[in-house]
Amino acid sequence: MSYEKVPQAKHLFIGTRQTVKALKAGKVNELVLASDADPVIKSMLLQAASTADVPVTYADSMKKLGIACGINVGAAAVAIQM
């Protein structure tokens, strides 16, 4: 995955709760999901993205996704609003 989209985004929704809320509100252009995220969380996010008709991109790991977002902890998911 190219992490370049993350810092270029108009707005980021970082984390599971914020991502789900943003998906339900129709504010998301793309969902970035960490490959090593918990399977239950991934399933929930994939369902929400499918319902919202939002494309999903996969990141290598939660740690790398967190770094791309500028945080010092891992991130299971990031919703991008362009």
pLDDT of residue 11: 85
From 60, 70, 19, select the one nearest 36 (Cα to Cα): 60
Tokens of 28: 């998301």
Within 8 A by CB and 6+ apart from 16, the residues are 41, 44, 45, 76, 77
Both structure tokens of 80: 């991008």
List per-residue pLDDT tens for the chain, 82 residues long: 556 777 777 789 998 999 999 999 999 999 999 999 999 999 999 999 999 999 999 999 999 999 988 899 999 999 998 7
Looking at residue 22, its pLDDT comes to 94
The alpha carbon dihedral of 24, 25, 29, 32 has a sign of negative
pTM for the predicted model, two decimal places? 0.87
For residue 52, the model assigns a pLDDT of: 94
